[in-house]
Amino acid sequence: MMPISPDKILPKVWAIGGGKGGVGKSVITSSLGIALARKGKRCVLLDADLGGANLHTLMGVPYPKRTLTDFLLRKVSSLNDALMPTSMPNLSLISGSRAMLEMGNLHNAQKTKIIRQLFDLDADYILLDLGAGSTFNSLDFFLAAHERVMVVVPTPTSIENAYHFLKAAYYRQLKHAIRSAGAGKDLESYLEEKVSLGIRSPAQFMEHLSERIPKAAMAIRKVMQDFSPRLIVNQVQNMEEISLGDQMVVACRDFFGIEMGYLGNVKSDECVLRAIQMRRPVLEAFPGSPFVSAINGITRRLVGD
Amino acid sequence: MDETDLQDEFQLLKLESGATLKEVERAYQRMKALYAENSLASYSLFDEEERCAKLVVIERAYERIVQFLLQPKRHAGEEPAAQCPKRETDDIDMNLAPGLYLCAVREKTGRSFQELSAQTKIGRTHMENIEAERFEKLPAPVYLRGFVLEYAKALGIGDAEEIARIYLERFQQFRATA
């Protein structure tokens, strides 16, 4: 057996997703990364949005020399070799740019390879910027992470997509939980029959499970307790929108029976658009902006300070 | 009724044990907003039928908790009204809790049930039930309307007609869901 080196600290992986495109995932991911790097944490941003990677532009690296594609095409042997330094100390980037068109849909083996090597990267924090939609790629990166962060904006389309993403992630996790609880095939078919059984929400499903197979249900419940996503409500403008986060936490408790951790609001801030147009990080261009203080607060909550 | 009998109701409104009327009111408003039609946070998670069912149980839970909090805690030889903490009428929305509003006004005036009963010819039990919104124990709407109207007038409430109307509306709502 290989001895585990005692000073090797495994990086913490944060995934930032949430279904809809254009809600500010990339801006928030890059800003969280910069906030961490400024705290002296070695941080890697991984652009997992292979269909529409643009983290490199936000980070001021217009033509990344090495990308995730090089790793997938085996031009570099390890994910560590695909790291690109950025203009900021402690912060590097694995760009998803120049991905070939078919790479929006990674093969299972490729995805597994990336996820496995993620946890071996030489860093304190790895931040994954997930693509839009509820593809298996996004879901698996999301579920592999230590912290699963959803970004929404206060619009019906964003919330709908976010809930769809959350449902898809929940059921994927639930299937794993059922399998690892050894609850077997009949339970999976039970899961498929849930509509005809009159089960409309995961919370109701767990209740039925506790009655039918109490022992396995306990094991499953335990695994599902770890399914605790976090929430950021971006681009809020008024009091009603400010209360949306708390409301979503309660709605998810009622529907999924899970506790979603609310990380906070980010108010609409024109500095963000201006910084993007300048192709500079907001934290650099407008350090005193409301956006930056919101990001710092969220970073503190995520690190657990 | 004990608070332990109301665990489900407290949980439903996400209330801590020992919550005050004001907290109950606020929690009730929050939950109603969450499950209101077109609520951003819930409409794409719950379908119409579930959403309406949620509103019904929220309404019931709220009513039960308010009833519990308003039930007179009797000790031998003491006037129950004297034990109620003083409530400010400004804090209470007449539209949402007309019974509680009447109770708060009575406390503010400092008048006893005995005195009010003598003036209005309404029995004390009825007055208590009206304040606590114990709808199941209240008389038929035609009598109830008169009671609430008289009671509100006796308490010197300016718009007695309005509070009687609101009260009856809540009573009918309760009838429809019970």
Distance from CA of A177 to the nearest CA of B (A): 23
Provide the pLDDT for residue A229.
96
Q: Closest to B14 (Cβ–Cβ): which among A159, A243, A250?
A: A250
Give chain A positions within 8 Å (CB) of B33: 243, 247
Contact at 8 Å (CB) between B97 and B118?
no
- CB of B50 within 8 Å of a chain A CB? The answer is yes
Q: Which residues of chain B have pLDDT under 50?
A: 76-84
**pLDDT-wise least confident of A16-25, A153-162, B28-37:** A16-25
Taking residue A125's Cβ as centre, other Cβ atoms within 10 Å add up to 26
Residue that terminates a domain, selected from B70, B96, B112: B70
Which CATH architecture is the domain A12-150+260-303 placed in?
3-Layer(aba) Sandwich (3.40)
- Domain extents in chain A: 12-150+260-303
Do B171 and B152 sit in the same domain of this protein? Answer: yes
- Could you tell me which residues are beta bridge partners of residue A93? A45, A84
What pLDDT, in 10s, does the model give residues A78-96?
999 999 999 899 999 998 8
Look up residue B89 and give its DSSP letter: G
Is residue B101 one of the residues assigned to a domain? yes
Provide the pLDDT for residue B143.
82
Do B57 and B97 sit in the same domain of this protein? Answer: no
**pLDDT-wise least confident of A258-262, A274-278, B79-83:** B79-83
Q: Terminus-to-terminus CA distance in chain A, angstroms?
A: 36
Q: Which pLDDT band holds residue A1 (cuts at 50, 70, 90)? A: very low
Is residue B27 one of the residues assigned to a domain? yes
Give chain A positions within 8 Å (CB) of B47: 200
Taking residue B166's Cβ as centre, other Cβ atoms within 10 Å add up to 19
Nearest to B81 by CA among B89, B71, B90: B71
Look up residue A297 and give its DSSP letter: H
Do B106 and B41 sit in the same domain of this protein? Answer: no
Residues 6+ apart with CB under 8 A from A187: A178, A209, A213, A216
CATH number of the domain where residue B132 is located = 1.10.260.40
Residues 6+ apart with CB under 8 A from B43: A156, B37, B51
Is residue B44 one of the residues assigned to a domain? yes
Contact at 8 Å (CB) between A20 and A161?
yes
Q: Which residue of B has its CA nearest to A160?
A: B44
Provide the pLDDT for residue A8.
67
Interatomic CA distance for residues B174 and B176, integer angstroms:
5
- Could you tell me which residues are beta bridge partners of residue A150? A17, A231
Q: Which residue of B has its CA nearest to A155?
A: B40
CATH number of the domain where residue B28 is located = 1.10.287
Average pLDDT over residues A8-13: 86
Q: Do B45 and A255 touch (CB under 8 A)?
A: yes
Q: Do B45 and A156 touch (CB under 8 A)?
A: no
Provide the pLDDT for residue B80.
46
- CB of A254 within 8 Å of a chain B CB? The answer is yes
Residue that terminates a domain, selected from B18, B43, B70: B70
Do B107 and B87 sit in the same domain of this protein? Answer: yes
- CB of B142 within 8 Å of a chain A CB? The answer is no
Is residue B97 one of the residues assigned to a domain? yes
Do B99 and B124 sit in the same domain of this protein? Answer: yes
Provide the pLDDT for residue B81.
47
Do B103 and B142 sit in the same domain of this protein? Answer: yes
Residues 6+ apart with CB under 8 A from B177: B56, B59, B60
Structurally, chain B folds into a number of domains equal to 2
- Could you tell me which residues are beta bridge partners of residue B175? none
Task: Find the angle CA(A274)-CA(A275)-CA(A276) to the nearest 5 degrees.
Answer: 90
Q: Domain range spanning residue B173?
A: 80-177
Residue that terminates a domain, selected from B48, B70, B92: B70
Q: Closest to B42 (Cβ–Cβ): which among A164, A200, A251?
A: A251
Interatomic CA distance for residues B104 and B109, integer angstroms:
9
